[in-house]
Amino acid sequence: MSYGNDGGTRYNDAWRNDGGVPPHAFDPLMQPELFRGVLTRRVFAFLIDLFVLSVPVILAVIFIAIFGVVTLGLGWALFWLVSPASIVWAIVYYGASIGGQHSATIGMRMMDLELRTWYGARGYFVLGATHAVLFWVTISFLSPLVLLVGLLNGRRRLLHDIILGTVVINSSVRTQVSPAARASY
Query: How many domains does the structure of the chain reveal?
Result: 1
Q: How confident is the model at residue 4 (pLDDT cuts 50, 70, 90)?
A: very low
The residues near 50 (Cβ < 8 Å, ≥ 6 apart) are: 107
The residues that bridge with 122 in the sheet, in sequence order, are 116
Q: How far apart are CA 23 and CA 16, in angstroms?
A: 11
Chain segment 76-110, per-residue pLDDT in tens: 999 999 999 999 999 999 999 999 999 999 999 99
Q: Are strands 9-11 and 14-16 parallel, antiparallel or unpaired?
A: antiparallel
Taking only the tens place, the pLDDT of each residue in 22-64 is 667 787 778 888 888 899 999 999 999 999 999 999 999 999 9
Question: Which domain does 129 fall in, by range?
Answer: 31-172
51: in domain = yes
The reply to whether 5 falls in a domain is no
CB 142 within 8 A of CB 159: yes
**139 within domain boundaries:** yes
Amino acid, single-letter form, for residue 168: V
pTM for this predicted structure: 0.79
Residue 121: inside a domain, yes or no? yes
